[in-house]
Homo-oligomer: A and B are copies of this chain.
Amino acid sequence: MKWHDLSEEACPLARAMGVVGDRWTLLILRECFLGVRRFDHYQKRLGITRHLLAERLKRLESMGLLEKRPYQERPLRHEYRLTMSGKEFAPVLLAMQHWAQRNLPSEEPMPFAFVSRESEKVVEPVVTDRDSGEELNHRTVLMVPADPEAAKAIAKHLPQLGWK
């Protein structure tokens, strides 16, 4: 497997790695959600090199998470905004932030918070099933290979399949 072009992979997680599978991209998205839109602001806030930032923004645009739009002419300047696809990434950020806060402890206080627009309270993100409302985690959900052959291939070496 090559570093490039995970975009053809059957596994959605692998395709996602083609977009956010590096040190910076998720942090760029974080900045987007904080309201940052311009090249130099991303660059200064993140400390990323201009070279890489340009590359990553191009990728996020080509993958449909950001769109580049002019905010002035003379001189022509563009800003980067989240598209619907980019905005829909918010739950992933919420889940990951929640995991990291609990599992990668730090002395430092959180530099930001996720707040409900309605209640104005800090939220605690939990993943649930749309249909049943049941909480989804390693105790309640099983990851099963679609191909029974693949399941067998794994099971051959395992007492039983699942998130033990």
On whether the beta carbons of A129 and B125 are closer than 8 Å, the reply is yes
Interface residues of A (CB under 8 A from B): 1, 3, 6-19, 21-24, 26-27, 30, 33-38, 41, 46-48, 63-65, 81-82, 85, 87-104, 106, 108-119, 121, 123-134, 136-147, 150, 154-155, 157-158, 161-164
Closest beta carbon of chain B to A88's beta carbon, Å:
6
User: Do B36 and A104 have beta carbons less than 8 Å apart?
Assistant: no
Q: Which of B95, B114, B140, B142 contacts A143 (CB 8 A)?
A: B114
- Tell me how many chains of this kind the complex includes: 2
A16 nearest CB across to chain B (Å): 4
A147 touches B111 (CB 8 A): yes
Is B129 a contact partner of A128 (Cβ separation < 8 A)? no
Contact assessment for B146 and A109 in the assembled complex, using a CB-CB cutoff below 8 Å: yes
Asked if B128 and A161 make an inter-chain contact with CB atoms under 8 angstroms apart, the answer reads: no
Q: Which of B100, B127, B158 contacts A126 (CB 8 A)?
A: B127
**Residues on B with beta carbons closer than 8 Å to the beta carbon of A138:** 33, 82, 87-88, 90
Bound-complex Cα distance A155 to B133 (A) = 37
Residues of B within 8 A of A106 (CB): 8-10, 12, 15
| Distance A127 CA – B127 CA, assembled complex (angstroms) | 4
Contact (Cβ within 8 A) B10 A110: yes
In Å, the complex CA distance between A90 and B136 comes to 8
**Chain B neighbourhood of A144, CB < 8 A:** 112-113, 115
